[in-house]
Amino acid sequence: MEKKDIDWSGLGFGYVKTDKRYVANFKNGAWDEGGLTDDANIVMNECACVLQYAQTCFEGLKAYTTEDGRTVCFRPDLNADRMYNTALRLEMPPFPKDKFVDAVKQVVKANEAWVPPYGSGATLYLRPYLFGINPVIGVKPAEDYQFRIFTTPVGPYFKGGAKPLTLCVSDFDRAAPHGTGHIKAGLNYAMSLHPIVEAHKAGYAENMYLDAATRTKVEETGGANFIFVTKDNKVVTPKSNSILPSITRRSLMYVAKEYLGLEAEEREVYFDEVKDFAECGLCGTAAVISPVGKIVDHGKEICFPSGMDEMGPVTKKLYDTLTGIQMGRLEAPEGWIVEI
């Protein structure tokens, strides 16, 4: 199969229309068979629940070309699980997990020419999403739903690739205790648009959100979890009921322990401790691991010893090991790699 003629290495994180997308419809209390379509547009009623009450959620995962030329996905079963839990919290009919993984395989296979070649630095990003589509005007869940997956080839999420980022501590809250921070609801991202626009205007790459109840603990950014490295090389990641359970973060904690022999700890992280860490990074499907060089808290700068030129040494090892597993250079734990 011939790949598309694209400047793969020049791609940023954007939308490029690919050949096929997957669609399934929930009507009269059941999911239909689902299948692939060429049509990238969705027609819906003006009063569709998603348009009025934002009843929508999504996932993100990637397809890779391995060193030996296979096309693979990374842990799609965990995206299926997380979307299942998200749907329940949003009163949506969950898309069956086995059908989710099958849909991932179908849509990657159908767009294999768009999966960036090994070594290009790009990957094929998959965006599964689920939304309420019938007209709803009283505040209540929809009755009819659509589940879709589109694909788009992407490069690095942050401009500048692996250059350390500068973040700011946000005055806004991302998620409330007992709210929706732990699920991947579109509404979490809608409310983060104003804070991210403000952060970008002020020259920061992202916001560090603190816990809404006490504003003393580190939560996450708008699109990634944090990992920190202590001066004695322990990997630490914030534990909170109001952050997204990142699949990348869960994988990295395993990699730290089982591949690199490091201590790895998920625990509450107080903002006051951040200045004592040696390294900091953002982790997620889109972010992979993006190093953080500096965090600014209302004019007060925290500069990590790893500096503003390159990734810290432990972050680099985590990055190399995770991407090595994803690209087939290193043996993966059982079930992490799904071949298309």
Active site residues: 184
Contact set with ligand PLP (CB under 6 A): 60, 220, 223-225, 244, 246-249, 284-285
Rg for the chain, CA atoms, rounded: 20
Q: Is 195 in the site for ligand COI (CB under 6 A)?
A: no
The nearest distance, CB 274 to ligand COI, in angstroms, is 22
Token reading at 238: 């914030």
Closer to ligand COI by CB, 244 or 280: give it: 244
Measure Cα distances from 155 to 9, 12, 250, 314 in Å. Answer: 7, 4, 23, 23
Contact by Cβ (8 Å): 170, 208: yes
Q: Is 286 in the site for ligand COI (CB under 6 A)?
A: yes
The rounded distance, in Å, linking the Cα atoms of 162 and 127 is 23
Closer to ligand COI by CB, 199 or 286: give it: 286
Q: Can you tell me which of 56, 123, 285, 290 binds ligand COI, judged by CB under 6 A?
A: 285
Residue 63 bridge partners (DSSP): 73, 124
CB-based contacts of 307, cutoff 8 Å, min separation 6:
164, 293
The rounded distance, in Å, linking the Cα atoms of 334 and 301 is 42
Q: Can you tell me which of 44, 51, 60, 89 binds ligand COI, judged by CB under 6 A?
A: 60
Q: Which does 192 bind (CB under 5 to 8 A by kind): ligand COI, ligand PLP, none?
A: none
Closer to ligand COI by CB, 61 or 210: give it: 61
The rounded distance, in Å, linking the Cα atoms of 61 and 75 is 8
What percent of the residues of the chain are helix, what percent strand, and what percent coil, each to the nearest 5? Answer: 25, 30, 45
Q: Is 132 in the site for ligand COI (CB under 6 A)?
A: no
**Nearest residue to ligand COI, scored by beta-carbon proximity:** 60
Q: Is 153 in the site for ligand COI (CB under 6 A)?
A: no
Q: How many CA atoms lie within 13 A of 291 on its CB side?
A: 28
Q: Which does 247 bind (CB under 5 to 8 A by kind): ligand COI, ligand PLP, none?
A: ligand PLP
Closer to ligand COI by CB, 144 or 204: give it: 204
Closer to ligand PLP by CB, 115 or 227: give it: 227
The nearest distance, CB 249 to ligand COI, in angstroms, is 11
Question: Which residues of the chain form contacts with ligand COI (CB under 6 A)?
Answer: 60, 223, 284-286
